[in-house]
Amino acid sequence: MLQYDKAAAVGFIPSGLFIVAVYDPKTKISDGYLASWIQQISFSPLMVGLAIKPGRPAYELIKAGNPFAINIVGEHDKSFMKHFWKGYDPAQNPFMELPHHFGKFNGLLLDQAKAAIECVMTSSIQPADHEIIFAEVKASHIMNIESKSMVHLRKSGTEY
């Protein structure tokens, strides 16, 4: 059956699932969000692009220039995603209970992730309702090499 809703097939574009986490050493605030659009965009320098809706958790901290980590969700352990799926009350910050450590560049690395990439924002552009952050990769960490990265498909291109 043909479907003519222009967003229907857009949801079938595969992506991963990631927890983007940032820590501000001045204020001691940790914040993060569940992301599904992250892509490598350059080899030299090694860079990634990620989408974030302004106002989401971590947005202001990333825009302020704090190093951040892209924690790649693996098939071996998805339990830590629940803290970020619907958002959270800042008073119930999930980083108070999730095991984590800081990388060489102060990226917040979740111990349950498959891997993590420490980054620093270099620029951004806002073509529509989400902003695209361009970030240079500073370091990579592999916590579970055997696990496969999660693959995410949506029901439609109009919702998460």
Q: What is the mean pLDDT of residues 126-144?
A: 97
User: Which range has the worst mean pLDDT, 93-97, 116-120, 154-158?
Assistant: 154-158
Q: For tokens 């999660």, what's the residue?
A: 150
The per-residue pLDDT for 3 is 55
Q: Which domains does the chain have, with CATH numbers?
A: 38-48+55-140 (2.30.110.10)
The per-residue pLDDT for 2 is 54
Residue 61: CA count within 13 A, CB half-sphere: 25
Q: What is the mean pLDDT of residues 127-133?
A: 96
The per-residue pLDDT for 41 is 97
pLDDT band for position 157 (50/70/90)? confident
% of residues, the chain, pLDDT over 70: 98
The b-or-e profile of 43-54 (16+ CB within 10 A means b, else e) is eeeebbbbbbee
Average pLDDT, the chain: 93
From 145, 123, 154, select the one nearest 41 (Cα to Cα). 123
- Taking residue 125's Cβ as centre, other Cβ atoms within 10 Å add up to 9
The per-residue pLDDT for 4 is 61
pLDDT in tens, 61-77: 999 999 999 999 999 99
Q: What is the mean pLDDT of residues 107-117?
A: 98
